[in-house]
């Protein structure tokens, strides 16, 4: 159940080469996937309570830490699927953010966060936990429609 974070090394972005950049990116995946699970689909993610609390383009390190500290509470309150995977990734993201020094996100951080939040299901299942052998709901939904 250990997240595979090697995919982060392929990014050429200077911000994503830093510890904070990697942590912010992973936090975006955690929060984006949590928002998706709150409503049950990627199509409705903008209706999730977590999505409505995000100030995209203006996220501060304080905002990010505040939202990440709520992950255990959200997992319990929404009885989220794959809670072990989600909590482990949140733990790793938090440690990496702490190692990064806590500078403000700025444009680069906000961009990395938004990209990972918007593509959270893809990064969660196709990159981070691809070796776990669990199909994401998106793949199951696509197969059932064919």
Q: How far is CA 99 from CA 14, 43, 96, 103, in A?
A: 17, 34, 5, 11
Residue 125 lies in a domain: yes
**What is the Cα gyration radius of the chain?**
14
Q: Tell me which residue of 1, 74, 59, 72 sits closest to 28, measured CA to CA.
A: 59
Domain that holds residue 134: 6-145
- pTM of the full structure: 0.89
Q: Report the phi/psi class of residue 93: left, alpha or beta, with left for phi > 0 and alpha for psi in -120 to 50.
A: alpha
Residue 97 lies in a domain: yes
Please tell me the total count of domains within the chain.
1
The answer to whether residue 1 is domain-embedded is no
Per-residue confidence in pLDDT tens, the chain, 146 aa: 788 999 999 999 999 999 999 999 999 999 999 999 999 877 789 999 999 999 999 999 999 999 999 999 999 999 988 899 999 999 999 999 999 888 899 999 999 999 999 999 999 999 999 877 766 555 433 433 33
The verdict on residue 127 lying in a domain is yes
């Amino acid at each position: 159940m250990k997240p595979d974070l090697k995919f982060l090394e392929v990014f050429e972005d200077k911000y994503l080469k830093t510890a904070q950049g990697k942590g912010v990116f992973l936090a975006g995946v955690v929060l984006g996937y949590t928002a998706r699970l709150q409503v049950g689909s990627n199509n409705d993610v903008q209706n999730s309570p977590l999505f409505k609390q995000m100030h995209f383009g203006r996220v501060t390190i304080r905002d990010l830490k505040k939202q990440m500290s709520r992950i255990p509470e959200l997992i319990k309150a929404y009885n989220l699927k794959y809670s072990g995977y989600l909590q482990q990734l949140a733990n790793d993201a938090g440690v990496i953010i702490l190692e990064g020094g806590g500078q403000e996100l700025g444009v680069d951080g906000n961009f990395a966060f938004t990209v990972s939040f918007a593509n959270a299901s893809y990064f969660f299942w196709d990159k981070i936990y691809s070796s776990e052998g669990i199909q994401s709901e998106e793949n199951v939904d696509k197969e059932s429609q064919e």
